[in-house]
């Protein structure tokens, strides 16, 4: 399946070909510019791409997190993903590699995705903030405010069917809620018309392995919902 940039390029080439054929036909029929109206050009909606969003972020210095970061962790995965996982922020391993969820919590997330009969390459993974908070502290309000517009544009560009919010900060930020994650999980919420399932963060599960069962119940609900959304 072609991605969105490929589709737009194909549309543009087809448009150019049609115009050339129209001009060739008019020339062969002896028509002049005053005898024929030029063909109307269709409007093409050039939506924001993940590449352009990353380029706009650049070497970001919009908040104080840039002072100690090694790498910006933009996000990774399928740009046409049906399912997006959103976490809190990069940890030490992610800061080093520049990729989301590659440490111990990321390995557990990979196992969860595979248990859902998917691969990491099938989904998209991102975070509320794109630079590591020092000592893995919680992101502060000004840091979230600086970074969240880019995540929102990523979600708009991907347009997933469903989002899994991993942990308190991801869920509260996306949903504009102050509820605890234990109160939000287990039921669907909505973000700009997209269904959201809040659940515990993988790093929490590493400290509280008994809660893995609860997260699996949430993921079973996600799988069932995705099946319902499949085109008939």
User: Does the residue 29 lie in any domain?
Assistant: no
Supply the pLDDT for residue 129.
98
Helices and strands in the chain, H and E counts:
9, 6
Distances, alpha carbon 21 to alpha carbons 2, 13, 18, 38, 50, in Å: 26, 12, 5, 12, 34
- Domain for residue 150, yes or no? yes
* Structure confidence at residue 207 (pLDDT): 97
Number of domains in the chain: 1
Whether 59 maps to a domain, the answer reads yes
User: Could you list the residue range(s) of the whole structural domain that residue 163 is in?
Assistant: 50-229
**Which token pair is 85?**
């996982």
Q: Is the pLDDT of residue 74 over 60?
A: yes
CATH number for position 136? 3.40.470.10
117-165 tens-digit pLDDT: 999 999 999 999 999 999 999 999 999 999 999 999 999 999 999 999 9
Q: What is the pLDDT of residues 168-220, one digit of tens each?
A: 999 999 999 999 999 999 999 999 999 999 999 999 999 999 999 999 999 99
Q: Give the per-residue pLDDT at 34.
A: 39
Q: Based on C-alpha coordinates, what's the Rg of the chain?
A: 22
In-domain check, residue 137? yes
Predicted confidence (pLDDT) per residue in 25-68, tens digit: 445 445 444 344 444 433 333 347 999 999 999 999 999 999 99
Domain for residue 63, yes or no?
yes
Closest by CA to 181, choosing from 84, 88, 82, is 88
3-state secondary structure at position 191: strand
Judged against a pLDDT cut of 60, whether residue 14 lies above it is answered with no
Q: What is the structure's pLDDT at 4?
A: 44
pLDDT > 50? residue 230: yes
Per-residue confidence (pLDDT) for residue 223, from 0 to 100 = 98
Residue 41 lies in a domain: no
């Amino acid at each position: 399946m072609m991605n969105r940039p490929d589709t737009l390029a194909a549309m543009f080439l087809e448009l150019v070909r049609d115009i050339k054929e129209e001009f060739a036909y008019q020339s062969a029929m002896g028509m002049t510019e005053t005898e024929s109206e030029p063909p109307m050009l269709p409007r093409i909606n050039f939506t924001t791409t993940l590449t352009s969003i990353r380029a706009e972020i650049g070497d970001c210095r919009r908040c104080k997190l840039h002072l100690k970061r090694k790498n910006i962790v933009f996000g990774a995965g399928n740009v046409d993903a049906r399912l997006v996982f959103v976490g809190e922020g990069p940890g030490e391993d992610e800061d080093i590699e520049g990729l989301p969820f590659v440490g111990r919590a990321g390995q557990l997330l990979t196992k969860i995705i595979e248990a859902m009969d998917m691969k990491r390459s099938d989904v998209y993974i991102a975070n509320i903030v794109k630079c590591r908070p020092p000592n893995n502290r919680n992101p502060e309000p000004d840091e979230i405010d600086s970074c969240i517009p880019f995540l929102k544009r990523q979600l708009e560009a991907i347009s997933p069917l469903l989002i899994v919010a991993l942990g308190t900060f991801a869920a509260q930020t996306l949903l504009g809620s102050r509820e605890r994650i234990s109160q939000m999980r287990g039921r669907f919420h909505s973000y700009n018309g997209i269904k959201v399932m809040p659940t515990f963060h993988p790093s929490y599960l590493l400290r509280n392995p008994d809660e893995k069962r609860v997260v699996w119940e949430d993921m079973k609900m996600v799988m069932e919902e995705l099946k319902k959304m499949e085109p008939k």
